[in-house]
Structure 1
């Protein structure tokens, strides 16, 4: 006789709510990792103990979901001699850049590629 698949037993715990909850949590975990990266964990814990009579077993289950932490927010800032932080490097000269408007209203020309 071969072993019965564990998914059959998981489906019986809590009237099917254990495996449904685990499935939903797995979906949440995959989405969180896809969006934010990192590592997460879904733990399905099954406890089995013998009942006091009749040869029955008491089987309980619970799930624990650990999603990856959100990425910390960061900014690259430059320190001043006074101990302040600035978005621009105070040691670099600022350039006075200006936008140049197009000289002609002609549409862009398609470039030919070499064969």
Structure 2
């Protein structure tokens, strides 16, 4: 007789609630890693002990979820000669850019027929 797949046994713990809970944790973990980066884990602990002298066993399952830590909020700022933090590089030359009104220029299409 070959070994019975462990997933068959996991489905029996708490009438299927254990494996359903672990599956929900997997979805939660996947979303957290996708949103926050980093890594996380799910730990499944299965305990087996003899229940009676006639061969019955008590199988207990525990699932623990460890999501990645939330990334700290940050900003890229530059330091001024006075020691202040500002969003624009004080050493970068400022350009005098102007907005051009394109609605006043008629549009032409190449190879128009």
Give the structure-2-normalised TM-score. Answer: 0.82
For structure 2, the 5+ residue unaligned runs are none
What is the match of residue 104 of structure 1? Answer: 105
Determine the C-alpha separation between the residues in 2 that align with 1:47 and 1:105.
78
Count of residue pairs brought into register by the alignment? 110
What is the match of residue 62 of structure 1? Answer: 62
Determine the C-alpha separation between the residues in 2 that align with 1:66 and 1:54.
39
Determine the C-alpha separation between the residues in 2 that align with 1:28 and 1:83.
43
What is the match of residue 40 of structure 2? Answer: 40
1:92 CA drift (Å): 2.6
What is the match of residue 83 of structure 1? Answer: 83
Kindly report the root-mean-square deviation, in angstroms, between the aligned alpha carbons of the 2 structures: 2.1
Cα distance, 1:57–1:110 mapped onto 2, change above 3 Å: farther
Deviations 1:22-80 (A, max 9, x none): 11111122222233332221111101112253322111101111122233222111112
Determine the C-alpha separation between the residues in 2 that align with 1:70 and 1:110.
53
